[in-house]
Structure 1
Amino acid sequence: MKYCRPRLYFRGGWLLAVLAVVNATPVIAEISNFGAFNLSPGFEQAKGKVAGYTGGSYPLSAMSNRDRDRQACIGFADPKPDHIMILEKDFSHLKVLVNSRGYDTTLLIQGPDENNIRCGDDTGKKKDASVDDENWKKGTYRIWVGSFNSGVERKYTLIVQQ
């Protein structure tokens, strides 16, 4: 008796093969405008400093009107996050600041749980945004740095402090 292997015949086999490979490929890094950075407790100050520029007309309020502390989420940015911050361990406290040399910036940070949103606007008497909060869980955070007015492009430095 001769052994026969079953054969699969289908149209568009090349397309299904490509889709299978694409779907099986792990995502290594999420897409952001200015890249990703990793932080562990005790990180060097330089590791918590990245740069970019504001711009875009996507209203951050479309992501969330209010954050987890009922603070308003305002401003305009690109729909794609500007930075990806990966916390390798839990942090009891972090402060995220924008330094645009006094231009009116805003901030939206989406935590590993998509419903965990933190928003920031003016810091004291300064127009630059910040978020100063506790209980940052290990995981991936998407950060949008916006401007108060749509389409305004300003260079900034984003600073994360413990």
Structure 2
Amino acid sequence: MKYCRLRLKSQWGWLLATVTAVMAQPVIAETANFGTLKLSAGFTPTQGVVEGYTGGSYSLSAISNRDRDKKACIGFADPKPDHILILDKDFDRLKVLVNSGGYDTTLLIQGPDDATIRCGDDTGKSKDASIDDRNFKSGTYKVWVGTFNSGVKQNYTLTVQQP
């Protein structure tokens, strides 16, 4: 009888320790490598500009092979998004441009839900990536700026425009 009681205490102690450990884990807030960009109706051109740098060996195709328009999602970046874009209202159209001085960049935007993906690569004759798309719903978007080659560090400016 004594053996059963000790064993029962031991099992409950293990369960209590497990529950306590799980509950003690902090909830990780959505963060980005270079911060948050919050845009409202009629935002000025300077409000839609942020800076950062590429780097990482995480394949953006691990998020999605293709976007909602069947464009390939390519490039390498950090697993954590570079920017969080918060839209206070629906936008009929937005243009998101990367300027790294013509380096071969890529772009992936996920949001406002996990299933909606937009991907961009070269812009015209420039190797810098861009996305020009319609129907951006209000909400939170994760933005990754990648490079065609893994592990390359390149400074860039990201600009969001309302055409």
TM-score range, shorter chain: 0.7 to 0.9
Matches within 5 A, 1:1-162: 30-162=30-162
Distance 1:88 1:21, change over 3 A: farther
Task: For residue 81 of structure 1, report the CA deviation from its aligned partner.
Answer: 0.2
State the TM-score, normalized to the length of structure 1: 0.85
Task: For residue 112 of structure 1, report the CA deviation from its aligned partner.
Answer: 1.4
One-letter amino acid of the structure 1 residue matched with residue 81 of structure 2: P
Quote the Cα distance in structure 2 between the aligned partners of 1:150 and 1:160.
Answer: 25
Task: For residue 79 of structure 1, report the CA deviation from its aligned partner.
Answer: 0.3
Task: For residue 20 of structure 1, report the CA deviation from its aligned partner.
Answer: 5.2
State the TM-score, normalized to the length of structure 2: 0.84
Gaps of 5+ in 1: 1-9
Distance 1:19 1:65, change over 3 A: closer
Quote the Cα distance in structure 1 between the aligned partners of 2:114 and 2:37.
Answer: 19
Task: For residue 155 of structure 1, report the CA deviation from its aligned partner.
Answer: 0.0
Q: Identity, % of aligned pairs?
A: 65
Distance 1:18 1:44, change over 3 A: farther
Aligned residue in 2 for 1:7: none
Deviations 1:123-148 (A, max 9, x none): 00000000000000000000000000
Gaps of 5+ in 2: 1-11
Q: What do you get for the CA RMSD once the two structures are aligned?
A: 2.0
Quote the Cα distance in structure 2 between the aligned partners of 1:85 and 1:110.
Answer: 10
Task: For residue 117 of structure 1, report the CA deviation from its aligned partner.
Answer: 0.2
Task: For residue 118 of structure 1, report the CA deviation from its aligned partner.
Answer: 0.1
Quote the Cα distance in structure 2 between the aligned partners of 1:14 and 1:37.
Answer: 40
Q: Secondary structure at the match of 1:96?
A: strand
Quote the Cα distance in structure 2 between the aligned partners of 1:36 and 1:15.
Answer: 35
Higher helix proportion (structure 1 or 2): 2
Quote the Cα distance in structure 2 between the aligned partners of 1:39 and 1:18.
Answer: 39
Task: For residue 36 of structure 1, report the CA deviation from its aligned partner.
Answer: 0.6
